[in-house]
Structure formats: C-alpha cells, structure tokens
Chain A
C-alpha cells in the first residue's frame, strides 16, 4: 500500500539523505576531534603529505597549464568581439585564482586522492585491519582519519597555489607564443591587476575542498560494505560525493567572496 503512495519514496529518499548527512557530520566531528587532541601520529601525517601533496603535483600541474592556456585563448576570442583583447592577462588571473585553480585541481584530487583513500581504508575494513587496530589499542580515527584530514588541509591549498602560478603561466605561454603579447607587459598586467583577495579566497576554498576530499575518502572507506564489491562501491561513492560537495561548497563560498 505504501508502494502505491507517490509521496512515500520521496519521503524515504529525504530521510535517507538526512541520515547520511547526519552520519557524515558525526564522522567529521570525530575526525576533527582526533586531529586536535593527542596522541598524534606524525609519521602518518608525513606519509600522507607525500602521497596527497607531492605525488599529486604532476596531475595538478598539467590540469593548470592546459586550463590557463585554454582560458587565455577563449578570453582572447571573446574579448576580440568588443576590442578588449588586451584584458587577457587580467581575466586569466582572476579566473584561475578565484575559480578554476581551486575547483579543477580539487576535482582532479577527488579522482586521485578520495578514490585512493576510500579503496585503501575500505580494503582495511573488509580484511578486518580496522578491527585489528582497535585490538591493538589504537584508535582508527587518530591513526587513519586524522592524518589524512590534516595532510589534505595542508597540501591542497599548497597544490592550488602552485596550480595558480602554473595556470597563469599557461595563459602567458599561449598569449606570448600564439597571440603576440609582449611577455613583460603580460606579467606586469597580471601582477598589477591581481589582488591578494583573489588568491586568498581561492586558497580558503582549497582548504575546504581538501577537507571534503579527505573526509569523503575516509568516510566511504571506513563504512565500506563487505567484499570486493563493497570496496568498489565505496570508491565510486567517495569520488562522486566529493565532486558534488566541492561544487556545492564552491558556490556557497563564492557568494561569500564576491
């Protein structure tokens, strides 16, 4: 009878969503607590900084350079319609630092980092390694979750800062080589026009996105269902939910910074 009620499935979906939101909030709270209170496992933080930060440099760098380059071409084409080609450097730097640097780098990291975390922690869950941690007097939130959250909070803004620089140089490269801009003028226009607010707003976004990336990876891995299929689903869910939350958070944060 309830199957025929058209409102029931909607209500169920809403309840399910609320339940998940509640579970993620509790998980995040426990993760933050573990991050703030000792014992801290600095070795784990260091290892995660390497894995999240250092090894993501190529992915983030390539994303940034191509995005900056494409952006410059598009702005040039668009600007030419009302004789505003000279604004390429100004708009590239705004586009990259405020929006595309943080968002695109974080999306790439969601694919790379959230997925890897969910797969690793999920495999630990299904092979009882997380249970084993408990029996060895070690809190998995301190040993697994907190180091990942902290490492992501530190390394994603740094990666985005690097992406900003590389992205601007992607635009510079295209503009000077293909569009006949003068290199020195391009750099001067970029620096004169850019404000510190453009960069910091992007870096604040990056911190939030970094937290989302690690949180989704850890949450879905930690709650992985049994078996290889469970781990596979956890990995997919981690990437998809991290990406969606990044878009949602990006909009919310942008409304604060305009």
Chain B
C-alpha cells in the first residue's frame, strides 16, 4: 500500500470495539481533497462510528487516522483543535442545541468560535437556511418546534455555515420527501464541486448516493469490502454490493431471521 501524500484524509488499519462488539475491524480509506465519498452499508455496521473516529470523538483501539498528514489521535490539544476546525458535521440525529434558536444553532460556530458579530452571523445563518429550503420564518423557532426532516436540514445548514474544508454528512436525506432530498443532494454536490470541499457522506438512499458521490465504498463486517467510482456501483461484480444496491433479501449478506 502506498501512502499518497496528497490525501486529505487517510485512515489505515482502524479497529474499534465496544466490549465484545467488534465494530470496525481494519478500515482503510484514502480520500483526495475535493472529492466526495459515499459510504454505504447495512444498519449497525459502524458507519457512524467510523465518522466519529475520524472526528476524534471516539478513539480507535488500533490504527491511525490523519488529516492533511497530521495524525489526529497522536497530537496535542491545540493541533487537534486546529484540525477539528476544518470539519463540519451533520449528525445522524441532528444534535441541535435545544437551548438555542434555529438561527443561533446554524450560526453557533461563527458566533462562539470565529468571533463573528451576532448581526453578521444571523445574516449568514439565514442564507445557509435558505440553501436547505428553510425560510427566514424558521430562524427564531426552537429546534423542538421543527419536524424531524426540518431538524435534519437545520443540522445540515449548521454543518456548512462556516464553510469548512471537510464535510461529513450522516444520512443527510433520511426522513426527507423526494423533492427536498434532491435539493439537499444538489447542495452537497455543489459544496464539493463549487466550493472544493472534501466530503464523506453516509446514506442508505442509493439515488442520493449516485448523485452526490464521486466514489462509493461499502462497509461490511468492519471492513471496506468494495470501493469504486459511483457509476460502477450497479455493475460492481461484488455480490455484497449487488445485494445491497438491489435491496434483495437473498444473497451473501446475512439477514437476521426474526
């Protein structure tokens, strides 16, 4: 394996277990700057855990993860904070701050970390909300007053508001109607194509995956078992990927019987 020096994100041999539950069992991913990778895989295969390991929110048991050539787990808090500043993350559950209004959520990093004035931050928050199809009338609501899909979109607006270099989206279109989902797909695509961000998205929605991915990788039993250009996902020649893409109950992937 050659370690490409131009990798934005480089993950090698990452293991992570919770007690006896061995979730990640040797994950390797190299991702070039300005590319969009979509990770697919069954529920509970460790996709969210993988993102949290890259973000330093979970510490892998083994292996190394580096961003722009800097290891994230073997570094001081200052460097770590710098690396964290490059990321924007949409959490699977939204993870909105329920003590703050919608716009304060979206503007959080601008106000509290980047020192932008509240007035300017509010303007940028409302612009970011518009990008996820939410009007200015939602800005002053509390997260608890929103529907699940709206919360997801606010989380997305929050992830992109500070224009980070690296974007992680954990199931960005889950719970959205097909039209809004398409708006979100285009938005994610444009973050990468127009703004040059590097993105990793997790999704079960193959239409969304095809639209936002340069490349697709499939995780199964704790490893990346296939990776290829998005257009190849329908004729991957890999029985696991074929079964996942066609959504068939029969195939090599074990389906728990009731």
User: Which A120-162 residues have C-beta < 8 A from chain B?
Assistant: 120, 124, 127-129, 131-132, 134-139, 143
B93 and A135 form a contact (CB under 8 A): no
Q: Tell me the nearest residue of chain A to B56, going by C-beta.
A: A134
Question: A136 near B108 (CB under 8 angstroms)?
Answer: yes
Contact across chains for A138 and B112 when beta carbons are under 8 A apart: yes
Interface flag for B55 (CB, 8 Å): yes
Nearest A residue to B155 via CB reads A132
- B112 to A132, Cβ gap below 8 A? no
Known: A127-B95, A128-B95, A129-B96. A135 touches B89 (CB 8 A): yes
B84: which of A120, A129, A135 is its contact (CB, 8 Å)? A135
Q: Which of B57, B88, B98, B113 contacts A131 (CB 8 A)?
A: B57
Instruction: Let me know if A143 and B112 touch, CB within 8 A.
Output: yes
Q: Interface size (A, Cβ < 8 Å)? A: 15
Residues in B with CB closer than 8 Å to A124 are 97
Question: Which residues of A are found within 8 Å of B52, using beta-carbon distances?
Answer: 131
In the complex, A41 has a CB within 8 A of chain B: yes
Indicate which residue in B84, B96, B158 contacts A134 across the interface (CB closer than 8 Å): B84
Residue from B55, B85, B95 whose CB has the most chain A CB atoms within 10 Å? B95
User: Closest A-chain residue to B57, C-beta based?
Assistant: A131
Taking the complex as formed, is B193 at the interface, i.e. its CB lies under 8 A from any CB of chain A? no
| Nearest residue, chain A, Cβ from B112 | A138
- Write the nearest CB–CB distance from B187 to chain A, whole angstroms: 19
**Given A41-B112, A134-B84; A127-B55 close (CB under 8 Å):** no
Contact partners of A139 in chain B: CB under 8 A: 81
Confirm or deny: B220 has a beta carbon within 8 angstroms of a beta carbon on chain A: no
- Please, how many angstroms separate the alpha-carbon atoms of A100 and B89 in the complex? 50
Which chain B residues numbered 53 to 101 have a C-beta less than 8 Å away from chain A?
55-57, 81, 84-85, 87-89, 91, 93, 95-99
Bound Cα distance from A134 to B88, whole angstroms: 10
In the assembled complex, the Cα of A137 lies from the Cα of B52 at a distance in Å of: 15
Taken together as a complex, chains A and B put the C-alpha atoms of A139 and B158 apart, in Å, by 17
Chain A residues within an 8 Å CB radius of B56: 134
Given known contacts A137-B81, A137-B84, A137-B85, A131 and B95 CB-to-CB distance under 8 angstroms: yes
Flag whether B124 is at the interface (Cβ < 8 A).
no
Q: Which residues of chain B have C-beta atoms less than 8 A from A134's C-beta?
A: 55-57, 84
Contact A131 B84 (CB under 8 A): no
Residues of B near A128 (CB, < 8 A) are: 91, 93, 95
In the complex the two chains form, what is the Cα distance from A155 to B109 in whole Å? 29
Residues of chain A contacted by B96 (CB below 8 angstroms): 129, 132
Contacts of B113 in A (CB 8 A): 136-138
Given A137-B81, A137-B84, A137-B85, A131 contacting B91 (CB threshold 8 A): yes
Closest to A126 in B: B93
**Min C-beta distance of A132 to chain B, whole Å:** 4
B57 contacts which chain A residues (CB < 8 A)? Answer: 131, 134-135
- Give A39-78 as 1s and 0s: 1 = Cβ < 8 Å from B's Cβ atoms: 0010000000000000000000000000000000000000
**In the complex the two chains form, what is the Cα distance from A127 to B55 in whole Å?**
17
Partner of A135, one of B88, B97, B98, B99: B88
Closest chain B residue to A41, Cβ basis: B112
Please determine whether B81 and A132 come into contact, CB atoms closer than 8 angstroms: no
- A127 close to B93 (CB less than 8 A): yes
Chain A residues near B98 (CB-CB < 8 A) = 127, 129
Distance between Cα atoms of A135 and B95 in the complex (Å): 11
Name the contact of A129 in the complex, choosing from B81, B85, B89, B97 (C-beta under 8 A): B97
Q: Are B109 and A136 in contact (CB under 8 A)?
A: yes
A143 to B111, CA, bound (A): 12
Q: How far is the CA of A136 from the CA of B57 in the complex (A)?
A: 12
Docked Cα-Cα span, A134 to B54, in Å, equals 12
5 contacting pairs across A/B (C-beta < 8 A): A128-B95, A131-B57, A132-B89, A136-B108, A138-B112
A residues apposed to B, CB below 8 Å: 41, 120, 124, 127-129, 131-132, 134-139, 143
Given contacts A134-B56, A135-B55, 5 further A-B contacts (CB under 8 A): A129-B97, A132-B97, A137-B85, A138-B109, A139-B81
Query: Which are the 8 A-B pairs with shortest beta-carbon distances?
Result: A137-B113, A128-B95, A132-B95, A136-B109, A135-B89, A137-B85, A131-B57, A128-B91
